[in-house]
Amino acid sequence: MKTNKLTKEEENIILNKGTEYPFSGKYDKFYKDGLYKCKYCDAPLFKSSQKFDSRSGWPSFDDSLYNSVREIPDKDGRRVEIVCAKCGGHLGHVFKGEQMTPKSTRHCVNSLSLDFVPTSDNKFDKAYFAGGCFWGVEYFFENLNGVISAVSGYMGGDETKTTYQEVSKGNTGHLEVVQIAYDKTKVSYESLLKFFMQIHDFSQTNGQGPDIGAQYLSAVFTSDKEERKTIKKVFDTIEKLGHKVATTIEPQAKFFKAESYHQDYYQGKNSKPYCHSFKKLF
Ligand SMILES: [Zn+2]
C-alpha cells in the first residue's frame, strides 16, 4: 500500500497510538467545508458536515464516511479505539451515548492523523439540483455515499448579490438550489441524478409539495454536454415508465450559498423533512 512519509510527531500518533495535547491540533477549531482524509494513506474518513464543536480540545465528528473507520475496543473494555479501515493508522477514540449531537456519537480524532481537502478544491465535481425547499434536498444528499458536501443556496436569477428575503418574493429568477460536491470514484453523476429524481416530485409544476412559488420549481442546472446527455437519458427512462417530467434542465449559473441558518437545517433540529421523501423509481 502506498503511504505518505510521516514526521516524528505524526509517527508517534498514527503508528504508536499517541495522543496530541488537547486544544493544540490545527483542526480543533476549524470549520471549513470539505473532506478529512487519513494523513498516512489518503483514504477519505470524515466530512465537514459530520464535524461539531465538542469543546474537548480535539476534532470531533458524529459520524464517519461509509466503511472508512474501524472500531477496536481497548482490552480493559473502557474505551474504543478508532483506526483508518484502509491502513490501520491510529485516529483516536469513539464515545457513544453522550448526546452531544442527535447521533450521540463522538469520534475524537487527533488533528495529526488527518489531512483536510476543501470542497472548493477542483478535484471534487459539483452537481446542482433544485427540488423545492433546499432543507429537504440537502438532508437527503448529505447522507448519500460519495457525497462530500451538500450546501443550500440559490441559482438562476440575477448574478449579483441575493438573499433569502429577496428570493422568497418569488420574482428574482433564483431557485432554491443545493450544490453537491462529490467524489466521482464513489458515485457517478447519473447515480446522483437518479437519486434526486426519487426524492422530489418531478411531476409538480407550481413548486414542491406545500411550497408553491417560482423559487420552489424543480430543475437540474448544468452546462456540461455529457451531463446534459445523461439527464435527457434519465428523463426519457422516467417518461417510458409512464410519468411526466416537469423538472427542467437549466444552464449552470453563479451559485450563491444561502445564509448559515439554512445549512444542515434538519440535522440541527434532529427532525425529518416535511417536504421530501424517498420514492423508489428505478
Ligand atoms: Zn489510512
195 and 98 in a common domain: no
Q: What is the pLDDT of residue 13?
A: 98
Enumerate residue ranges in the chain where pLDDT < 50. Answer: none
Task: Supply the range of the domain harboring residue 49.
Answer: 8-118
Q: Identify whether 275 is part of a domain.
A: no
237 and 131 in a common domain: yes
Q: What is the pLDDT of residue 228?
A: 97
Altogether, the residues listed in the chain come to a count of 282
Report if pTM > 0.75.
yes
**Separation of 27 CA from ligand 1 center, angstroms?**
17
Q: Identify whether 257 is part of a domain.
A: yes
Which residue out of 41, 84, 87, 133 is catalytically annotated?
Answer: 133
Q: Identify whether 280 is part of a domain.
A: no
- The tally of domains found in the chain comes to 2
**Separation of 139 CA from ligand 1 center, angstroms?**
28
- Here the CATH number for the domain that contains residue 237 is 3.30.1060.10
**Separation of 85 CA from ligand 1 center, angstroms?**
7
Which residue out of 38, 84, 108, 275 is catalytically annotated?
Answer: 108
**Separation of 138 CA from ligand 1 center, angstroms?**
28
257 and 131 in a common domain: yes
Contact 157, 172 (CB under 8 A): yes
Task: Tell which of 94, 118, 142 closes a domain.
Answer: 118
142 and 94 in a common domain: no
**Separation of 96 CA from ligand 1 center, angstroms?**
23
60 and 23 in a common domain: yes
Task: Tell which of 69, 96, 118 closes a domain.
Answer: 118
- Beta strands, E only, the chain: 34-38, 44-47, 51-52, 60-61, 69-73, 80-84, 90-96, 105-109, 114-118, 125-131, 147-155, 175-182, 207-208, 211-212, 218-221, 248-250, 256-257
Can you tell me the distance from the alpha carbon of 157 to that of 118, in angstroms, rounded to the nearest whole number? Answer: 27
Q: What is the pLDDT of residue 273?
A: 87
186 and 148 in a common domain: yes
- Here the CATH number for the domain that contains residue 66 is 2.170.150.20
245 and 110 in a common domain: no
219 and 104 in a common domain: no
Q: Identify whether 276 is part of a domain.
A: no
Identify which of 54, 98, 66 has the alpha carbon closest to the alpha carbon of residue 80. Answer: 98
143 and 93 in a common domain: no
Task: Tell which of 69, 102, 118 closes a domain.
Answer: 118
Q: Identify whether 3 is part of a domain.
A: no
144 and 103 in a common domain: no
**Separation of 113 CA from ligand 1 center, angstroms?**
9
Q: Identify whether 277 is part of a domain.
A: no
Residue 182 bridge partners (DSSP): 125, 147
**Annotated catalytic, 108?**
yes
246 and 138 in a common domain: yes
pLDDT digits (tens, 9 = 90+) for 8-60: 999 999 999 999 999 999 999 999 989 999 999 999 999 998 999 999 999 99
**Annotated catalytic, 87?**
no
